Amino acid sequence: MYGMVNKAVQDMVCSQFGEDQWEAIKKKAGVEDELFISHEGYPDEITYRLVGAASEVLGLPADEILKAFGEHWVLKTAAEGYGEMLDAAGADLGEFLVNLPRFHTRVAMIFPKLKPPSFAITDRGERSLRLHYHTHRDGLAPFVVGLLGGLAKRFDVEARITQIADRTQGADHDEFQVEW
Ligand code: HEM
C-alpha cells in the first residue's frame, strides 16, 4: 500500500499512545524505515506487521487497532490532507456513502498505482443503507467499521454499524448495515 497508510498508522500511534510506543512497535514489527514516503508503494505486509506489532505492544486486539485507525484516517489523515475531496463527496452521511463507490476513482488520479477497495450500496432507506465491501486484501473489515464511525463523527450523527456478512465466515464479501 502507499506509504501514506503506514504514515497514518504512525501518526495515530504517536498521537494516541506516544512516540516511545511507536518505536517499540516498529522494532517488534522488524520495520527499519526511518520514515514512510506517502507517494511510494510499500508491500502490504509492512502494514499488516505494524498492526500486529501494535496489537502486541499496546495489548489491544488487532481489530480494535484497525477500528481506531479507520477513525483516525477519516478525522485526521483525510481531513487534513484531502479535505476538499471529502467535502466534494457529500454534505451528509447518506450522500457521502452513496458517492463512496466512485470515491477511490478520484483518489487514483493522485495515486495511480492504487489497488482500491470497491464498494456498492443497496437497500437504501431514508436514514439507512447496506454497504457492500469488496477487496483483494484480507482482514480489513474492522478498518471499514472504523472508517464508517469516523464518517458518522465527521457528519455529527449517531450511527449504528452492524456487520451482517463476513468474509472470514465464508461469505462472498463483507456487508454492513448502516443506520443513523
Ligand atoms: C481523501 C480520502 C481518502 C484517500 C486519500 C484514500 C486513499 C487510500 C489509499 C492510498 C489506500 C491504500 C491502497 C493502496 O495503496 O493500494 C486506501 C485504501 C483503502 N481505503 Fe481509502 N482513501 C480515502 C478515503 C476512504 C474512505 C472514506 C473509505 C471508506 C469509508 C476508504 C476505504 C478504504 C479501504 C477499506 C482501504 C483498504 C484497501 C482494501 O480494502 O483493499 N477510503 N485508500
76-107 pLDDT, tens digit per residue, is 999 999 999 999 999 999 999 999 999 999 99
Pocket of ligand 1 (CB under 6 A): 1-2, 4-5, 74, 78, 82, 85-86, 100, 104, 107, 111, 114-115, 117, 135, 137, 140, 143-144, 147
**What CATH number should be reported for the domain holding residue 126?**
3.90.1520.10
Tell whether 172 and 97 lie within a shared domain: yes
Whose C-alpha lies nearest to ligand 1, atom 42? 104
Map residue 118 onto helix, strand or coil: strand
Dihedrals phi, psi of 174, to nearest 5 degrees = -80, 140
Max CA separation in the chain (angstroms)? 49
Ramachandran area for residue 170 (φ above 0: left; ψ -120 to 50: alpha; else beta): left
Tell whether 132 and 170 lie within a shared domain: yes
Q: Please indicate, yes or no, if residue 121 is contained in any of the structural domains.
A: yes
Ligand 1 pocket test, pick from 145, 147, 154 with the greatest ligand atom count within 8 Å of Cβ, gives 147
What domain count does the chain have? 2
Mean pLDDT of 125-148: 98
Report the b/e string of 9-38 with b at 16+ CB within 10 A. bbbbbeeebeeeebebbbebbebeeeebeb
Q: Please indicate, yes or no, if residue 152 is contained in any of the structural domains.
A: yes
Whose C-alpha lies nearest to ligand 1, atom 17? 116
Q: Tens of pLDDT along 29-61?
A: 999 998 999 999 999 999 999 999 999 999 999
Residue 175 lies in domain: 89-179
List the one residue out of 95, 141, 41, 161 whose CA is nearest residue 86: 95
Q: Please indicate, yes or no, if residue 149 is contained in any of the structural domains.
A: yes
Please name the residues in contact with 171: beta carbons below 8 A apart, sequence gap of 6 or more: 165
Tell whether 101 and 153 lie within a shared domain: yes
Q: Please indicate, yes or no, if residue 108 is contained in any of the structural domains.
A: yes
Tell whether 98 and 49 lie within a shared domain: no
Q: Please indicate, yes or no, if residue 18 is contained in any of the structural domains.
A: yes
Model pLDDT, residue 122: 98
Tell whether 95 and 156 lie within a shared domain: yes
Residue listed under C-alpha cell 469488496:
134
Q: Please indicate, yes or no, if residue 68 is contained in any of the structural domains.
A: no
Entry pTM: 0.97
